[in-house]
Every structure is written in structure tokens, then in C-alpha cells.
Structure 1
Amino acid sequence: MGECKLDHSRQDVLNKLEQQRDHLPEDIYSSFSSYLEKERPQLELNEAFHLLKKYDLSSEEEQQERNKKMQELLQNN
């Protein structure tokens, strides 16, 4: 995943989460939903967006790596 210069809003991340809902493990989806109930720093929102972006098109190996990164992001908050 390359660097992106765009800032993504909480709503952008929520929309992306809903787009990927059927492809995400249920525990990650639930944790993400709770995580997004509060305001989050811009860097975290950007990271969350890019972890979700094109998740469904990623290989199983890439999805596992993203799952780990998502769990780390969600557990630290």
C-alpha cells in the first residue's frame, strides 16, 4: 500500500467499512464499528481507510497481514 496524500474523514472510513463488510472477519468488523463511534486522529483514519481499501481484491495472505494490522490499530484504542 503506497503513501496517500489525501486525508480521509470518519465517514469515508465508515463507508469503506460497509463496502468491505462481507469480506471482513466478523470480529474485526464489530471492533471497527465500535472504534469509529469516537473521533479519531487523522493519521489513524487514514491508516484504517487504507487497510480497508481493496481488501476484497487482496490475496488471502495480504488479507491476513491487513487483519493483523487492523487488530493492532483497534486494540490500541
Structure 2
Amino acid sequence: MGVCNLNHSQQDVRLKFESQKAFLPTQLSQTLDRYLEKGNSQETLNELFHLLKKYDLSTQEEQESRNDKLKRIML
């Protein structure tokens, strides 16, 4: 993923999550939904946004990589 100079708001990330929710594994989706209820740093919001962006168009291998990164963020 390339570097993005835009800062994404909590709402941006929530909207991106809602648009990709159906493509995420159920357990990960539920955990991420709860995680997004709390406030997150700008760096975390930007990372979450880009992991979710075009998730549905990613290969299975790329989705698994993104899933691992999402899980690490939420630890």
C-alpha cells in the first residue's frame, strides 16, 4: 500500500468499515466493530482506513495479510 497524506476521521473509517463489513471474516468484523467504538490515534485511523480500502477487491492472500494486520492493531 502506498503512502497517503490524508488524515481519515473516525467517521471515514466507520463508513469504510460498513462498506467492507460483508467481506470481512465474521469474528474479525465483530471485533473491529467494537474497536471502532473507542477513540483511536490519527495514525491508527489512517492505517485502518487503508487496510479496509478495496478489501473486497483484494486477493485471498492479500485479505489474509490485511486480516493479520488488523488483528495486530486491535491487540
Give the structure 2 partner of residue 70 of structure 1.
70
The offset of 1:28, in angstroms, is 1.0
Amino acid at match of 2:63: Q
Distance 2:12 2:36 in 1: 11
What's the % identity of the aligned pairs? 51
The offset of 1:27, in angstroms, is 1.0
Deviating runs (4+, > 6 A) in structure 1?
none
Q: How many residues align?
A: 75
The CA RMSD over aligned residues, in Å, is 0.6
Give 5+ residue unaligned stretches, structure 2.
none
TM score, norm. by length of structure 1: 0.94
Amino acid at match of 2:49: F
TM score, norm. by length of structure 2: 0.97
Q: What does the per-residue CA deviation read over 1:2-42, in whole Å, with 9 as the maximum and x for residues that have no partner?
A: 00000000000000000001100011111111111111100
